[in-house]
Structure 1
Amino acid sequence: MKLYPNERTLLLIDGASFHASARSLGFDVDYRRLLDLFRSKVQLLRAHYYTAIPEDPEYFAMRPLVDWLDYNGYSVITKPMKEFTDASGRKKFKANMDVELAVDAMRMANQLDHMIIFSGDGDLRSLVAALQELGKRVTVVSTLETDPPMISDELRRQADHFIDLADLENEINRTYADALAKPACNKRDSAATRDLAKIDENEN
């Protein structure tokens, strides 16, 4: 990773995209280890986590995870999922957080040297280009180790640097020992995983 200790850095995590990448690689993210990793390598000003929240209480299982992040060093940005019915009558959910992520990135650009975006969404290429025009360095975190890759080629080429999530697995994964030591957290994350999976499936 091309990280420098004196760089004022912001993490921008698209929750659904980040989850989908980790799930495709077959591991669960330990968000405490993720935060500690970047705090040890850069001057981390903030870490933003973006996710949609279901309005229906039946699908509200990820609230404990969102609350945990909010109390443990992350700024959590949420909005309600939009529910709709497709042409075949199936219920689907829409929960794109690109606009919120882009607005925050541009609003905070003057305070930062480096932005690290955890997403593979090609729609963010224009945001990366705009930040670069302001003299900011932009790193994108996603993965090429899946078939198909979880990152768009346009976004990867636009970014100053690309970090493959597979290369971070040993540093940020939830280990078997962690799962035994934290059964409540594991139960919480499993429920949240189901909710995030609903978003992933309907966004693709």
Structure 2
Amino acid sequence: MRVSLFVDGANYYYMQRDKLKWNIDAQKLRDWAASKGELVDAFYYIGKSAPSDLREQKYLDMLAYSGYSLVTKEIKEILQDDGSITRKANLDIEIVLDMFNTIDNYDMAILVSGDGDFERPLQLLRARGKKFIVLSTAGFVASEIRMVAGMHFVDVANLREELERIT
């Protein structure tokens, strides 16, 4: 079974910070994906500051040296009506494009995201005969994703012993 891992970096970060309250070790995550078959690709999608600060660059370097292919997009600052600034770098389309541009390379996709925007791409993967696993956590995964994933949803909270980064 050839496996490709697709990590929605923003969703991954906020899931840890806001819901799990513990940190996932990116290398352990990659190894967990590799335990499902032959890991042929591991993609990590993340917004990047311009210019990168040292801490951010060290994290990106660690990901690359851990075997992830990085897909980055510059973070945009959006002025809100109330005068506050929202920082955003939406990489959903890049994830979907890579899922389908590399579809012949894998038998199973592992998506780390709870974003409801992935409902239709997952349906299309299934229609193309591909298996998939969605990794997210309760209270952070969209109901549309839970419905399409069914038994192929894995709650990261249940993998704490295997995935937690020990500091």
TM-score by length of 1: 0.77
Name the larger-Rg structure.
1
Regions of 4+ moved over 4 Å: none
Cα distance, 1:72 vs structure 2: 1.7
Aligned residues: 165
**CA distance, structure 1, for counterparts of residue 55 and residue 78 of structure 2:** 20
The one-letter code sitting in structure 2 at the alignment partner of 1:93 is R
AA aligned to 1:30 is D
Which of 135, 146, 149 matches 1:159? Answer: 149
- Equivalence for 1:42: 37
Q: Is 2:25 the counterpart of 1:30?
A: yes
The 5 A counterparts of 1:119-138 are: 119-138=113-132
Q: Quick one: distance in 2 between partners of 1:85 and 1:105?
A: 32
Contact 2:3 2:36 in 1 (8 A): no
Deviation at 1:40, TM superposition (A): 2.9
CA contact (8 A) 1:122 1:153 kept: yes
Amino acid in the other structure paired with 1:171? E
Residues 131 and 41 of structure 1, relative CA distance in 2, 3 Å threshold: closer
Structure 1 Cα separation of the partners of residues 65 and 159 of structure 2: 24
User: Are the equivalent residues in 1 in contact too, given 2:108–2:131 (CA < 8 A)?
Assistant: yes
Q: Offset of 1:56 from its aligned partner?
A: 4.7
RMSD: 1.4
The structural deviation recorded for 1:60 is 6.0
SS at match of 2:117: helix
The alpha carbon displacement at 1:153 in A equals: 0.7
Gaps of 5+ in 1: 1-6, 180-204
Alignment of 1:77-156 (within 5 A): 77-144=71-138, 149-156=139-146
**Identity, % of aligned pairs?**
34
Alignment of 1:173-192 (within 5 A): 173-175=164-166, 179=167
Q: Which has the higher strand share?
A: 2
Q: Per-residue CA shift, 1:95-148, capped at 9, x if unaligned?
A: 11100000000001122111010000001101101111111012111011xxxx
